[in-house]
Amino acid sequence: MTTTSPAAASRVGTLALTGLAPLVWGSTYAVTSEFLPADRPMFTAMMRALPAGLVLLALTRALPHGRWIWRTVVLGVLNFGAFFPLLFLAAYRLPGGVAAVLGAAAPMFAVVLTGLLLRERPSGRKLLAGVIGIVGVSLVVLRATAALDLIGVLAGLAGAASMAAATVLAGRWGRPEGVGPLTVTGWQLTVGGLVLLPLALVTEGAPPALDGAAVGGYLYLGAIGTAAAYAVWFRGLARVAATSVAFLGLLSPLSAAVIGWAWLGQALTPLQLLGMAIALGGTLLGQTGGRRAPTAAPAPAAVSALRAA
pLDDT in tens, 196-211: 999 999 999 999 999 9
Per the structure, the complete domain to which residue 79 belongs is given by 11-288
- 36/248 Cα distance (integer angstroms): 27
Give the residue-averaged pLDDT of 128-138: 92
Distance of CA 71 to the CA centre of its chain: 18
| 172 is a domain residue | yes
CB 234 within 8 A of CB 184: yes
Half-sphere exposure at residue 264, Cβ-oriented, CA atoms within 13 angstroms: 17
Give the residue-averaged pLDDT of 283-297: 65
| 125 is a domain residue | yes
Determine whether 8 is exposed, middle or buried from the number of CB atoms within 10 Å of its CB (0-12, 13-18, 19+). Answer: exposed
Q: Picking from 86-95, 161-170, 233-242, which range would have the lowest pLDDT averaged per residue?
A: 86-95
Residue 125, number of CB atoms within 10 A of its CB: 14
Average pLDDT score, the chain: 86
Q: Under the phi-then-psi rule, with left for phi > 0, alpha for psi from -120 to 50, and beta for the rest, what region is 271?
A: alpha
Please give the pLDDT value at position 97: 66
| 301 is a domain residue | no
Q: What percent of the chain has pLDDT over 70?
A: 90
Residue type, 93: R
pLDDT in tens, 36-79: 988 888 899 999 999 999 999 999 999 999 999 999 999 999 99
Tell me: pLDDT of 302 over 50.
no
Q: Determine phi and psi for 239, rounding to 5 degrees.
A: -120, -20
pLDDT in tens, 254-276: 998 888 888 878 788 898 899 99
Give the residue-averaged pLDDT of 82-90: 85
Instruction: Write b or e for each residue in 34-55: b if 16 or more Cβ atoms lie within 10 A of its Cβ, otherwise e.
Output: ebbbeebbbbbbbbbbbbbbeb
| 4 is a domain residue | no
| 198 is a domain residue | yes
| 173 is a domain residue | yes
| 231 is a domain residue | yes
CB 70 within 8 A of CB 217: no
Q: What is the pTM of this model?
A: 0.86
- 93/149 Cα distance (integer angstroms): 7
The domain tally of the chain equals 1
- 279/158 Cα distance (integer angstroms): 22
- 275/132 Cα distance (integer angstroms): 10
| 304 is a domain residue | no
pLDDT in tens, 214-263: 999 999 999 999 999 999 999 999 889 899 999 999 999 899 888 888 88
CB contact set of 10 (below 8 Å; sequence gap of 6+): none
Distance of CA 216 to the CA centre of its chain: 21
